[in-house]
Amino acid sequence: MLKKEFTYFCTALMFFTRIPIPFELEYSEEIMNKSQKYYSAVGLVVGILNALVFGIGSYLFTPNIGIVLSLIVSVLITGGFHEDGFTDVCDSFGGGYGKEKIMTIMKDSRIGAYGVLGMILLLLLKFTCLQALVDIDIATIGSAIIIAHSSSRFLSGLMIHSHDYVTDIDVSKSKPLANKPIPLTATLWGLCLAVIPLVLLMPLKFLWILPIGYLGKWYLGWYFKKHIGGYTGDCLGTVQQVCEVLIYLGFILIWKFT
């Protein structure tokens, strides 16, 4: 039992990061789908590493340099996996009209103007959010980074339950993806992995960041369903990136008005 769960976790870690797994993993579509329960755990790993880099960078240099270093490490750890999905969605929905055109652009490996602009603005917003959190309470920014990474990955995974997977127009270019809902108990396990760090690291009033992040998931889900009938892997990456930023914004709002 524990061996299977460890396999599910390692599968999620291997798929969403570039952290090496020093042994060969069994792979199947079933294992890929069951790895969903550990999306939050992958976020915890990425968030903890980013928080450590921020802390070291802030101590050795300045908080702003620490923020930039943490953003760089986030991309290096994940290979820009979610950011790549975000740029593809910006290009496809920005430059395409109708499902067929949107899906065609989404599978194009080249990046266009919408993707470049979207990525610049996203990173700028991330930086300014983290900078604002430093100004408000630098002692807890590490906790905010950990929570944002774990919670946003959980919210992204919820799309698999609430929306239909849209098959790629070119199956030969499609990537392996967990696209089938898992049992509710497994989903609740993922929720616990997102909520427990929040409860342990921050006052209970910050539980409100989860509904704030969920608003991003809800809106993007509605938008994707309207235009292409569901979600793709790139759409999931976009949900993660947007929810991560919304969670940072949620922290700022709660600190400011409570």
Tens of pLDDT, residue by residue over 245-257, are 999 999 999 999 9
Segment (H or E) for 208: none
The pTM for the full model equals 0.93
Phi and psi torsions of 231, nearest 5°: -130, 160
Residues 60 and 66: their CA atoms lie apart, in Å, by 9
Q: Where are the domains of the chain?
A: 36-257
CA angle in degrees (0–180, nearest 5) for 99-100-106: 85
Q: Say which residues have a Cβ less than 8 Å from residue 142's Cβ, sequence separation at least 6.
A: 51, 52, 54, 55
The confidence score (pLDDT) of residue 169 equals 53
The answer on pLDDT for 110 being more than 90 is: no
Q: Give the model's pLDDT for residue 178.
A: 67
CA distances from 23 to 5, 10, 20, 256 (A): 16, 10, 9, 47
The C-alpha atoms of residue 87 and residue 238 are separated, in whole angstroms, by 8
Examine the pLDDT at 101 and tell me if it is beyond 70. Answer: yes
CA distance 74 to 76: 5
Residue 121 or residue 27, greater confidence: 121
Structure token digits, residue 255: 């600190």
Lowest mean pLDDT across 119-123, 174-178, 230-234, 236-240: 174-178
Sign of CA dihedral 258, 149, 126, 135: positive
- How high is the pLDDT of residue 172? 42
For position 193, what pLDDT does the model report? Answer: 85
Per-residue CA distances from 248 to 77, 87, 149 (Å): 20, 20, 10
Tokens of 51: 């928080």
Short-list 143, 147, 126, CA closest to 249 = 126
